[in-house]
Structure 1
Amino acid sequence: MSANVGTRLSTATPYIKDLNVQIRKGEMKIPQFQRPFVWGDDQAIALLDSVANNYPLGSLLLWRTSDKLATERNIGEFVLPQTDDMSPTDYVLDGQQRLTVLYSAVGADPDAPGFSASYDLEKERFTSTRSAVVGLHMFPMRWLYQTTKLLNFRTALQTHPNAAKLQERFDGLVEVFTGYQIPVVTLKDLTVEEVCPIFERINSSGTALSIFDLMVAATWSKRFDLNETVEEIAEALKPKNYGEISGTRVLKCLAAVRSDSTSRERILALRQLREKPADMDGLVEKTKRAILRAVDQLITDFKLYSMDFLPYEAHLIILTYIYANNPTLNAGQLRRVRQWFWRTSFSERYRGAPDDFVTRDLAAIQRFVLEGDVPAEAYGAVPDTATLKGMIFRKNNSRSRAFSLALAKQNPRNLTNGNSIDTAIALSIYNKKQFHHIFPEAFLRKTKPEVERNYVLNFCMLAASENNLISDADPQVYLPQVISDLGTDAAPVFKSNLMPKPQDFDYSTASLESFIDARVGIVQAAIESLCTGLH
């Protein structure tokens, strides 16, 4: 944290009652980017138990600002009062679940909805009032700050057979709750730009918070809701069965189209359009059309039916940028898009690439696509033999995804029966059962447990039902049987899977090593062909 930010940070230890008063007055609010209240009764009771035992609950983090953020969500089930636009508001960045429990349990009106609890003075434990246990020994925690109800309860407790002991416990309970203080860190009058890096590092709830979550609130107005924009784009993609597009990717696409950049600063600058709804609407519509054109090409040219198989998000962002500026491309330009896509995927150009690298590529790739100003080789080479042989198949690896797409481009057929594989289904969502270890994993685990089983070159596509049939079969047995069953179809079926043709390779004596040696040249040639951009 910079020294400048540090001077606008304050710490305090208010009592629970003081925090509840702030909430009741509407001075403390839950911003829209926070997830809903999700704690169950057991978690809430455990929190109350921690207070009763004087255990620390951890600090709360608030952001005090006069900027009004979207706060459509209240505290749990409680509707909070409206405040004027001039009054500063404390937005809860971290601690929503704890605050909600404390307000609901001891700050809300006795008859209000939401979680409420009683303390069993006999058993010395909290229970949810949903359990409907009543009696002289059960103290409703919402009476804690209701002076009359609290005194009446204590008076009635005198009629209990064990009154002295229970009154002692009751006084101790009231003392610890009314005297309990919670550390609060308040960030005062920081801009969104200053709060963002702090906000993104908050992870105490186990849920990573992103720049998108913050921008939902920072750009919100009665005319514009970023969440609705993302939903609108997702809805437009539904007919293509393309799956969901993340909010952060949409933000980067919006920033790229508006500012030729995907940097944090340019994303945060989208806030400026909050007061220009017509400009924001125009940007959203332009970006949405460009995303749809980009997706159309990803499906048509690359068999990319789901974001699960997108090698890098930079591919979508750059394609969106190109189509936002150039709604149509000619045959030569489309060929260069294909060259760029395959070469950058297999060369891992965008692996770990920072935003400024992608930003520089926006204009550079556009020039290449439109004019062919540099050789295609500038964007990556075909992997050499050693690299291909060493590649491991992993879901989140760009080369594995690119290899899956390269297989789909061959219009593969099931090894077992020669039927065409529906690549739209196989690549609609990552499903390991749609990919087959040619030398089965279970077989290798039994016979050669020390051997790497997940080489990319040990995979092909296979319908899940057929995959299950092969199971842990010996490849020296099942592959010759498959060849026999396919008859004259064997050669084209194996070719469609980028596997050596039966007449060129003896599968009855093959080892995993000899198979990979025989297959690597075939796969390399297929990748070289794709990198020409002609297919």
Structure 2
Amino acid sequence: MAKYSVNNHSVENIISWINSGEIAIPEMQRPFVWEASKVRDLMDSLYKGYPVGYIIIWKNPDVKLKDGTFSNGKKIVIDGQQRITALTAAITGQEVVNQEYKKIPIKISFNPFDEKFEVCNPALEKDSKYINDISEVFKPDFNCFNFAIQYGNQNDSNPSDINNTLVKLKGILGNSIGVIELNQELDIETVTDIFIRINSKGTVLSQADFAMSKISS
């Protein structure tokens, strides 16, 4: 029996999983711990077409989730929670739960003239060269052409060039991320072993954290 399959999914598709509740976070997964600068770097990598690693998911109806319910066949994130959360925060504007279990926004700013990403701060909010929050660009009603004209008038820039850059930014939604899906027939012990091996060189989660999910299953 093959233990996993590997496929590419668009950023837009992965975000749709989040919005529809099709993807779930198991009970042992931790809050969002990335620094905002790592979210910025992730968006910059996607913008430049760089690979950003794999997400590992597993379908199982009996894993307890963080809200106390069970997965019931949802896609359970085994590895890649931080990247998925970062994507959702930056692109949709959804707040994240930090280590103090408080909901906070993470705003990533973008300079379409220099094609540069930054973590939003009060100084950038006053700088007409920056889009304060790139999630605005990804809203369905955002008009790249109209914005480019306004931006060009304010910053002495060519609206056509700005429009092309904004279209490239929105194109992040079509970029692919590798998704490894573990076979749903695998038992919790095997998935636990896979998780531990993946994280054996890091400090993402301890073995005890994942072992707690076995109690909940």
- TM-score past 0.5 threshold: yes
> Superposition pairs for residues 34-73 of structure 1, below 5 Å?
34-72=29-67
Q: Which residue of the partner structure matches residue 122 of structure 1? A: 113
CA contact under 8 A between 2:65 and 2:71: conserved in structure 1?
no
- CA shift in 2, pair 1:86/1:34, >3 Å: closer
The answer to whether the 8 A contact 2:23-2:76 is kept is: yes
Q: Is the 8 A contact 1:33 1:213 kept in 2?
A: yes
| Equivalent residue number for residue 185 of structure 1 | 180
Code of the aligned partner of 1:133: E
Alpha-carbon spacing, 1:106–1:57, altered in 2? closer, same or farther (3 Å): same
Provide closer, same or farther for how the CA distance between residues 169 and 86 of structure 1 changes in structure 2, counting only shifts above 3 A. closer
| Offset of residue 217 of structure 1 | 1.9
Of 194, 201, 212, the residue aligned with 2:197 is: 201
Partner of 2:77: 92
- CA deviations 1:102-135 (Å, max 9, x no partner) are 010003359x942121211123211223345256
SS at match of 1:126: strand
TM-score for both structures, normalised by structure 2: 0.81
Which deviations, in whole Å up to 9, do the C-alpha atoms of 1:399-447 show, x marking residues without a partner? xxxxxxxxxxxxxxxxxxxxxxxxxxxxxxxxxxxxxxxxxxxxxxxxx
How many residues are treated as equivalent by the alignment? 202
Which digits, 9 at most, give the CA deviation of each residue in 1:72-126, with x for residues without a partner?
Answer: 4xxxxxxxxx97x57312221111111111010003359x942121211123211
2:16 aligned to which of 13, 21, 25: 21
Consecutive unaligned residues in structure 1, runs of 5 or more:
73-81, 221-270, 272-535
Q: Deviations over 1:353-379 (max 9, x none)?
A: xxxxxxxxxxxxxxxxxxxxxxxxxxx
Confirm or deny that 1:146 pairs with 2:139.
Answer: yes
Report how far residue 58 of structure 1 moved: 0.8
Higher helix residue share: 1
- Work out which of the two has the higher radius of gyration on C-alpha atoms and give 1 or 2: 1
Shift of 1:174: 2.0
CA distance in 2, matches of 1:100, 1:60: 12
Asked if residue 170 in structure 1 is aligned to residue 162 in structure 2, the reply is: no
CA offsets per residue over residues 326-385 of structure 1, 9 Å max, x none?
xxxxxxxxxxxxxxxxxxxxxxxxxxxxxxxxxxxxxxxxxxxxxxxxxxxxxxxxxxxx
Cα separation, 1, equivalents of 2:82 and 2:201: 9
Alignment partner, residue 219 of structure 1: 215
Aligned residue runs from structure 1 range 424-443, under 5 A: none
Q: Distance in 2 between matches of 1:183 and 1:121?
A: 28
Q: 1:86 to 1:200 in 2, by over 3 A?
A: closer
1:28-78 Cα distance to aligned partner (Å, 9 max, x none): 122232233211121111111111111100111112111132414xxxxxx
Residue of structure 2 aligned with 1:157, choices 148, 154, 163: 148
Amino acid at match of 2:164: E
CA distance in 1 between partners of 2:90 and 2:200 (Å): 22
Whether 1:101 aligns to 2:86 is yes
Shift in CA distance, 46/204, structure 1 to aligned 2, threshold 3 Å: farther
In structure 2, what is the equivalent of residue 340 of structure 1? Answer: none
Asked which structure has the greater RCO (Cα within 8 Å, sep 6+), the reply is: 2
Q: 1:165 to 1:33 in 2, by over 3 A?
A: same
